[in-house]
Structure 1
Amino acid sequence: MPDLQAPGIREAAERLLEATRTHVPCAPVRDVLPDGSAETGYAVQAILTERALADGRRIVGRKVGLTSPAVQAQLGVDRPDFGVLFADMEVPAGAEADSGRLLQPKVEAEIAFVLAADLDAPDLDAAAVRAATDHVVAALEIVDSRIAGWDITFADTVADNASSGLYVLGAERVELGDRDLRTVRMELADDTGATVSEGTGAACLGDPVEAVLWLAATCRDLGAPLRAGEVVLSGALGPMVAAASGDTYTARLSELGSVSVGFSQDERAGRGAVHAGGVREDGR
């Protein structure tokens, strides 16, 4: 990994931290980074993670991002990435997401894996992922970007903790076993009941189990393997949908149940959209 003290890497981290603190999206960080490599992006992410841990936040899992071709097309990237989930990012089922914590939120439906065993073996495969999984649940990830207008390259989103925001887990726990998650059908509806996004498990790197396998192997090789008890958001099953204060979304996943989230009314909500260009975009 690049030197975390390198000026460009440190400057990028401070820019993202300032955007979080002020609630005003910032310029892309790629213009200060020494290069656009994944390694450089993860170096910035590591600084942000260290700062979060120093502030008392607790890691509870990881998220895989950019697994859906539709989402990759939306953001102009062509490979997956990952970010860290902290305990304070979870929105309890039935509760509202705090719009005041968000800048430019979008919602996507996913399958979450809750692990019962570590995934740190040198010979990981899909069978190992299945064996290590306690259960899977329907989930919503509220992705967010500290970078104005979602004007991101791969390095930008990796640096920004894979554009993480908040997440919600459904109440229905389902045993994975040999269940074929590729055939899971997802429909995401707004508060009028209209379908705003749809897809299948196959949209997530071909199979959500393969997405978790990619993450497990990547984290193991980086020396920070996935551990028992952690939550893994395996990636979007369909396009993201922009969210605003007062909105409600419900995802229904065949075989896995449903999960909903509402966004609190907050006078600060929407400031990100104003600074990012002023127009709310559904399915950017």
Structure 2
Amino acid sequence: MTMTSTTSPATSPLADPRLARGMAAQMTLRDRAIAEGARPIGWKVGFSTPAALAKLGTKAPLVGFMLDRKVLAAGATVALSRFSGAPVAEPEIVVEIGTDLPGGGDEAAARAAIVALGPAIELVDVTPSDDPEAILAGDIYHRHVVLGPRASRPGGVTADLVSRVLRNATTVATPADVTANTGGLAMLVRHVADTVAALGLTLRAGDLIIAGSITAPLALTAEDRMLVHALDPIGEVSVRFA
């Protein structure tokens, strides 16, 4: 895949050679899956907290891709025994993009491109690493995503949203600010647009972005049976485990 950028090499989100190599390997996976019939549905971000950035030696969140074949129906049952590494669940916000968003713009343009939000749960298959190139090459551990209902939210306003997470019969603590652990949604959307532009792609109308875990990632065990993520007042989504 030819990698081009609308930004200068010094300001490109892939200026770090580790990120450039990791994203090139990731795009090879994506291109192969699309050639086999998979349909791209959008992108994901991860490792956005200050602690994660310091651990990896990066300056911005990592970006991965999502395909239709990785989407699970709400309430689906997942066999954790099929994970090759450590199964982890992440309650997230899914952002729907309403207009094409080229790279090189500002956060105001990114904010204007957001049309809807909703709850999501991402399931990741983690083999721990401190190497961002290896993490990117494996699509940031992405295994599945469960998408809940989305509601119109022009500009991606989150001030009134409340995240509630129920693991089995136990409530998981969530921050009052649903973007406290991820960073603002406009910033994340802007970063995704700039990253895919550096790959010669464009963030398109209809693309979905899962914005990173609202809580600390939840390591799953054989005792886990169900996870519910409600994003009030929009709605909720759940997944079961076997």
The question of a shared fold, defined as TM-score above 0.5 by the shorter chain, is answered with: yes
Which residue of the partner structure matches residue 23 of structure 1?
none
Which residue of the partner structure matches residue 238 of structure 2?
260
- Give the number of aligned pairs: 225
Q: Residues 63-78 of structure 1 correspond to what in structure 2 (within 5 A)? A: 63-69=44-50, 72=52, 76-77=55-56, 78=58
Q: Higher strand fraction: Structure 1 or Structure 2?
A: 2
Q: Which amino acid aligns with 1:160?
A: G
Q: Residues 20-35 of structure 1 correspond to what in structure 2 (within 5 A)? A: none
Q: Which amino acid aligns with 1:250?
A: V
- SS at 2:170's partner residue? coil
Q: 1:220 aligns with which of 197, 210, 233?
A: 197
The verdict on how the C-alpha distance between 1:2 and 1:222 changes in structure 2, with shifts beyond 3 A counting, is closer
RMSD: 2.8
Instruction: Tell me the TM-score normalized by structure 1.
Output: 0.69
The verdict on how the C-alpha distance between 1:192 and 1:212 changes in structure 2, with shifts beyond 3 A counting, is same
Unaligned 5+ runs, structure 2 = 4-15
**Offset at residue 65 of structure 1 (A):** 1.1
1:118 is the counterpart of 2:100: yes
Cα deviation digits, residues 217-256 of structure 1 (max 9, x gap): 2212321111111111112222101124552111233433
Report the identity percentage. 28
Cα deviation digits, residues 70-94 of structure 1 (max 9, x gap): 6x28x93354101110101111112
Give yes or no for contact 1:126–1:209 (8 Å, CA) kept in 2: yes
Give yes or no for contact 2:95–2:156 (8 Å, CA) kept in 1: no
Which residue of the partner structure matches residue 154 of structure 1?
132
**Offset at residue 182 of structure 1 (A):** 5.5
**Offset at residue 48 of structure 1 (A):** 1.6
Give yes or no for contact 1:116–1:134 (8 Å, CA) kept in 2: yes
Which residue of the partner structure matches residue 198 of structure 1?
174
**Offset at residue 205 of structure 1 (A):** 4.3
Which residue of the partner structure matches residue 102 of structure 1?
83
Larger Rg computed on CA atoms: 1
Which residue of the partner structure matches residue 60 of structure 1?
41
Q: 2:19 aligns with which of 21, 38, 42?
A: 38
**Offset at residue 211 of structure 1 (A):** 0.9
Q: Which amino acid aligns with 2:66?
A: L
Unaligned 5+ runs, structure 1 = 4-34, 266-284
* Separation (CA, whole Å) in 2 of partners of 1:69 and 1:185: 23
Which piece of structure 1 moves more, 61-70 or 97-106? 97-106
Which residue of the partner structure matches residue 135 of structure 1?
116
**Offset at residue 101 of structure 1 (A):** 4.8
**Offset at residue 116 of structure 1 (A):** 2.2
Instruction: Tell me the TM-score normalized by structure 2.
Output: 0.80
Q: Which amino acid aligns with 1:161?
A: D
1:238 is the counterpart of 2:220: no
- SS at 1:210's partner residue? helix
